[in-house]
Structures are given as C-alpha cells and as structure tokens.
Amino acid sequence: MQSKFSPRFLLIGLVLIWGIWSLWPTFKLQTLSNDERVALSEQGNLETLESRAIKQGLDLKGGMYIALEVDVPTLIENIAINKDRKLSSVFEQIRQKTLLSPETDFFVTFSNLVNENKIKLSRYYYDYGSNTDVIIASLKTEAEDAIDRVLEILQNRIDQFGVAEPTIQKQGTQRIIVELAGVQNSERARSLLESTALLEFYIVKDITTTNDLMIKVDQILKKDKSVSSLANEIKSTSSLNDEPSDVASENDQSVSVSELFGASDQSAITDSVTVNDDIFAERPFSSMLRSLGNSIGVPEKNTFAVKKMIERADVKERLASIGGEFLFGPKAEEYVLNDGSVERMFPLYLLDDKAELTGGVVEEAKANLGPQGTTSAGQPIVNLSMNSDGARKWSIMTGSNIGRQVAIVLDKKVHMAPNIREKISGGGTLIEGFANIDEAKDIAIVLRAGALPAPVKIIEERVVGPSLGAESVKSGTQSVLIGLAIVLVFMIFYYRASGGIADFALIWNIVLVLAILASLQATLTLPGIAGLILTVGMSIDANVIIFERIREELDKGKTAKAAIDGGYNRALTTIVDANMTTLIAALVLWQFGTGPIRGFATVLFWGILISMFTAIFVTRSIFNVFINRKSFTKISI
C-alpha cells in the first residue's frame, strides 16, 4: 500500500522543496543587515540576490510617479513640409492658449485658427491630402500613431533601465503615466524619459563662411534702430542665471571680425567677456563671442544674449540663405585664454542646415570607458555601429569631406566635432563628452530604443519614499497574518483534526503562491496582498465544501472511508465550477488591466490554481494515509 502513495507524496515533496528554494532568496534578502548588504554589494552578489527575490511595487518599495504629456503642436509643426511665419504664428497662438487652458483640444483650436487666418493647409501638408478636413484628419491619425510609438519607445527605454514591472499607460489622448518602483534617482529617470534622443551628423561650415556670416549678422543688428536698447537689455539679462554681465571699461581692446574668428592671428582676441557700448554698437554679435580655434566660444554669461540674437527672424533668414544653422555644445567648459586666465564658455558651431545622416541607421550603441592610448582614455564614451545602409552613407560622407569637421549632434546639441582624417568604411564611430558613465549608459539606452517621434514634458511628478513603502509592507503583512491566524484557529475549532489538515494545506498554498511570484519575477503590490488574502479565503472555502460533504455522508451512516470518498467526489464539481469562474475573471483582469490591477490578477490566478491543488490533491493524499490503516474507524471532523 505504501508504494501506491509514493508517487503522490514524491510529487508533493518535490513541489514543496521547489517552493522553499524559490522563496529562500526573498527570505535572505529581508533578513540582511545593513553591513551584510554592503558586503554583498561590494562582492557583486546583492544584485543577483535581488533578481531572485520577490519584486515589490511602487506602493511597497517606493519610487517615482510621473505624468508625461506629448507635445502635439511641436509634432505637427515639425512634420510640415513647408514652413513660414504665417504657419509658425498659428502654432504660437495655440501654445499661448494651451498655457491659459491646458485642457484645450489641439486639433479643434488648430482647425479654428486655420479657418480664421484663411490658411491653405495643402501648401504645408500636401502629402496628407488636398482638402483641409482630410488633412486635419490625417494629422490627427499621425498624432495618435506618434503617441503609441512614444509609449512603445518609453517601454523599451525603461526595460533597459532595469526597473522591475514598470507601469506605463496612456491617459486620455496626449498623456502617459509612468510608475517606476524602486527608482530614487529622479533626475536620471526624468532625463531618460524626456530625452528625444535625436542623433544627427552634420558637416561644419568652413571658417571663411563663418567669418562672412559674422559680418552679415553684425550688419543686420547695426541697422536695427533698437540696438541701443538691446545693448541695455543684454547688460541686465545676459546670464544663464539672469545675473547682470560685467561691462568692459572704455580701455578694452577692440578687434576686427576677421581677427576674432580668423585662424591667422589668435593673439588679437579681446580680454573682456562683454564689451562697452561703443564696441557693442560696432559689432553687436561678434563682440559677444570668442575664438576657440575650430569653434566659436560663447562666454557663459553671454549665452542668453547670443541665443536671443540667433533667434531673431532677420538673423534666421540670413542663416537660411547660406543653408546654415547655429548649435551649441551640451555644457559650458573651462578654456584657457592667451593671458593664462580661465573662462567658462559654451562652444558654438555653424553647421549645414540639413543632416547628412540620422540616428535611424544606428544598429547598436554601447557605453564604455575610452581605451588607453586615445584622447578619450578613461572617459565615458558611446560606441556606435551602423546598419549596412548607414555604413554606406557614412563611408560616402566621410570620404567626400576629408579635412572638414563633422558634428555629432544629439538632441540639437553638438557633443563633438572631430576632423575627418580619412574615409571610414566600417560604419562605426563614437560619441564622447559625457559627465559620467551613467549619462553615457542612458544615452546608449535611448539610442538603442529609438528617438521619440515627438517631444514629451513632465507635467506631474511624485516621489514615494521607501519609508511609506515600508509602512505599507508592514500593514499588509499584519493583515495577512491576522486573517490567516483567525482562519487557522476557526478551522481547528470547527473541524478538529480535519481542520488541522486544511490548515497545513493553506500554509503551503501561501508559500507556493509566493514562490510562483518569485519564479516569474512578478511584482507584489498592495492589491497583490489583497489578492493573497482573497486566496486564503478561496482555499479554505474549498476545504469547507469538502468537509461539509463528508459530514453529510457520515450522517447517512456511511463508514469513514466511504464518507471521505463520497465527500471528495461530490465536492469536486462544485469546487471546479466556482474556481473556474474566478480564474476567468482573473485572466480578464490580467489581460486588460495594468500596474496594480495586473498584480492583483496575477496573485489571484495562481492562488486559485494552487488552492485547487492543495485542497483536492494534498489533503486527499493525507486522508488516504489514515483511511488505509486497519485501526482507522472514525474521522475527526
């Protein structure tokens, strides 16, 4: 008879051993002291242990809640094939209305303004149709598609960022909700989400073109009757921090544009950061700049003023006439001047207005430290490899521009502009100039995941502290233990020895559910804990049905063995029917729910399945051991 039960108990034993093995990392992680955590972290084993433990959600572990809004006006403006001031003014009016009323529907406002200004959209969006209504409908479809792509790209970025079970869902037509459990570095997460990651490769204009443009821009500004008032405004606001700039004395040295930007006479550069009224009136633009050899330097305090000049409509027209565009470097750096002094400046580049290559050709992006023997030795870099089409275009581009600079531009900021020494045929290159390896890793992530089709901005951000999460864990754990204790006592009191068997199965039911969560790397949330409590009730409910059926069989005068057999047979259909309906509900919640709802559904689904295993298979196996003994004549129930 013993051999008959061996397969049953072998299966039960293997399942229980697996459950304990799966839960051991979670138990060990929860019992680690701070010193032990530090030691494991230094050994590199803490991350492995955490990966095998049960993941905790935002409400238990703490983390970030972020609400993002897709910038639909910028998206629609960017996809316009032709652009002019008339169209730009429409988008500017929309942005102003959005500031006053954030809930304004973009396409309704856009349609109204187009009609009011009698704008023919077919002139700007002829690829989308010839009729205004058709074009607006097509643009609306384009916007919806862009938001879906933003959702997918953010999901890919966060997956590579290493957040367990993040919640990313669309809210309304333009907003996306992101919940990142366990993330406390809000600045890094914010940068990762908002970065459009638009990678482009531009050819830098030669020095002669740059010199000529400087002269033209100075002439444009000199003709402006408001140049004197502009000088006063610059003196009071030309700082990134809105601090007044230092104004040079009357004795400051004045130099020509050719001296300031030419390569022949670098010693003639003025020592002052900003200049007096006379110098500014003569050279309004070039007097704000410095020469840095292959690039132009903008003193940090002059950045606001220079950007203001570049954004003027007449200066933009001059840039468009030569097919040029000004772009800054990503951050201010210290440069040593001829007199030995150090000045913080942003590099400024004059580039072709059309990119030769975009980041769409990037096949792989990896963050590393620069190898020894190179100019970037020990510095964080990102190595890029391109697909076959990108490698071919990169080879043509570098081969036809030997001796010139190529600007590697990320999100409209020039990270580096190296000289092309020879044709590059392999399709590989690198980006440097990052503050640290984390920044390089994040850039590599967004390049691999792809560029956002539209800018996004954070409109709401909340950080849930670990202390609040710890309190939630404590409260949830207490509720489970209190509920479990009441059920265990009731079952023993009401069903005596049989209740003890049900209690044994119930405890193992909870252990196995948690083991499943650990093995699937699922996330436990407060709704998940609620699902666990519900599972306790469902598991006991199955045993209650079985025991009541057994009592009915005993009341009919049947023997203990016959009562147990009859009780299980009669209860089986009822238990399966009741649990199947709950399983279907759990699957629906899991399929269509997100975040905490899906966490609840996961716990409920596996809890119901395992409760059927423990209530029907495990308890029946234990009863079979007793009823097959010769001395067994009465059941304690």
Q: Give the DSSP letter string of 501-541.
A: HHHHHHHHHHHHHHHHHHHHT-EE-HHHHHHHHHHHHHHHH
pLDDT score at 336: 80
For residue 360, what is the DSSP state? G
CATH code at 93? 3.30.70.3400
63 three-class SS: strand
Q: Using alpha carbons, select from 613, 627, 506 the residue that is nearest to residue 565.
A: 627
- Residue-wise pLDDT for 300-346, tens only, equals 888 888 888 888 888 888 888 888 889 988 888 888 877 777 888 88
Half-sphere exposure of 320 (CA within 13 A, CB side): 9
Choose one of 441, 476, 491: the last residue of a domain.
441
pLDDT score at 244: 32
Kindly state whether residue 283 falls inside one of the protein's structural domains.
yes
What is the average pLDDT across 476-490?
A: 84
Q: What CA–CA distance (Å, rounded) separates 546 from 571?
A: 5
Q: Tokens 């006439």 sit at which residue?
A: 321
Q: What CA–CA distance (Å, rounded) separates 517 from 123?
A: 57
Is it the case that residue 256 has pLDDT exceeding 50?
no
DSSP per residue, 383-433: EEEE-HHHHHHHHHHHHTTTTSBEEEEETTEEEE--B--S---S-EEEE--
Q: What CA–CA distance (Å, rounded) separates 146 from 69?
A: 12
End-to-end CA separation in angstroms for the chain:
25
Q: Tokens 């051999």 sit at which residue?
A: 3
Are 471 and 595 members of one domain? yes
Q: Using alpha carbons, select from 221, 207, 371, 197 the residue that is nearest to residue 284.
A: 221
| 297 alpha-carbon distance from chain centroid | 34
Domain count, the chain: 4
Whole-number percent of the chain with pLDDT over 70: 83
Distances 204 to 257, 315, 427, 508 between C-alpha atoms, Å: 19, 18, 20, 69
CATH code at 586? 1.20.1640.10
Q: What CA–CA distance (Å, rounded) separates 245 from 266?
A: 24
Choose one of 293, 317, 352: the last residue of a domain.
352
Q: What CA–CA distance (Å, rounded) separates 496 from 503?
A: 11
pLDDT class for 159, splitting at 50, 70, 90?
low
Q: What CA–CA distance (Å, rounded) separates 77 from 113?
A: 14
pLDDT class for 595, splitting at 50, 70, 90?
low
* Helices (runs of H) and strands (runs of E) counted in the chain: 22, 18
pTM as predicted: 0.52
Choose one of 464, 497, 531: the last residue of a domain.
464
Kindly state whether residue 129 falls inside one of the protein's structural domains.
yes
Vertex 566 angle, CA 560 and 567, to 5°: 85
Q: What CA–CA distance (Å, rounded) separates 574 from 571?
A: 5
Are 556 and 486 members of one domain? yes
- Residue-wise pLDDT for 534-556, tens only, equals 888 888 888 888 989 988 888 88
- Residue-wise pLDDT for 16-31, tens only, equals 889 889 888 888 887 8
pLDDT score at 243: 35
Kindly state whether residue 31 falls inside one of the protein's structural domains.
no
CATH code at 423? 3.30.1360.200
pLDDT score at 393: 85
Are 338 and 366 members of one domain? no
* Type of residue at 527: P
Is it the case that residue 497 has pLDDT exceeding 80?
yes
Is it the case that residue 4 has pLDDT exceeding 60?
no
Type and span of the H or E element at 445? helix 437-449
Kindly state whether residue 516 falls inside one of the protein's structural domains.
yes
Cβ-contact 69, 454 below 8 angstroms: no
pLDDT score at 76: 86
The more confident residue out of 65 and 274 is 65
Are 219 and 345 members of one domain? yes
Cβ-contact 240, 298 below 8 angstroms: no
pLDDT score at 271: 35
pLDDT score at 206: 83
**Domain ranges, residue 239:** 203-352
105 three-class SS: coil
Cβ-contact 348, 289 below 8 angstroms: yes
Is it the case that residue 266 has pLDDT exceeding 50?
no
Vertex 175 angle, CA 174 and 178, to 5°: 150
What is the average pLDDT across 352-376?
A: 77
The more confident residue out of 346 and 59 is 346
| 569 alpha-carbon distance from chain centroid | 53
What token pair was written down for 127? 């690829």
What token pair was written down for 517? 């969560």
Kindly state whether residue 73 falls inside one of the protein's structural domains.
yes
Half-sphere exposure of 125 (CA within 13 A, CB side): 24
Axis-axis angle for helices 560-592, 596-612 (nearest 10): 160
Q: Tokens 């953010």 sit at which residue?
A: 154
For residue 299, what is the DSSP state? E
Burial of 227 (0-12, 13-18, 19+ CB in 10 A): middle
Are 329 and 192 members of one domain? no
Are 337 and 379 members of one domain? no
Are 459 and 472 members of one domain? no
**Residue 180 phi, psi dihedral angles, 5° rounding:** -120, 100
Are 177 and 132 members of one domain? yes
- Helical segments of 298-339, H only: 303-310, 313-322
The whole-chain average pLDDT of the chain stands at 77
Are 189 and 208 members of one domain? no
pLDDT class for 237, splitting at 50, 70, 90?
very low
For residue 372, what is the DSSP state? T
Is it the case that residue 582 has pLDDT exceeding 80?
yes
Are 391 and 376 members of one domain? yes
Is it the case that residue 100 has pLDDT exceeding 80?
no
Sign of CA dihedral 527, 531, 534, 536: negative
What is the average pLDDT across 147-163?
A: 72
pLDDT score at 363: 72
- Residue 505: partners with Cβ closer than 8 Å, 6 or more residues away: 539, 543, 614, 615, 618, 619
For residue 43, what is the DSSP state? H
What token pair was written down for 156? 């890919």
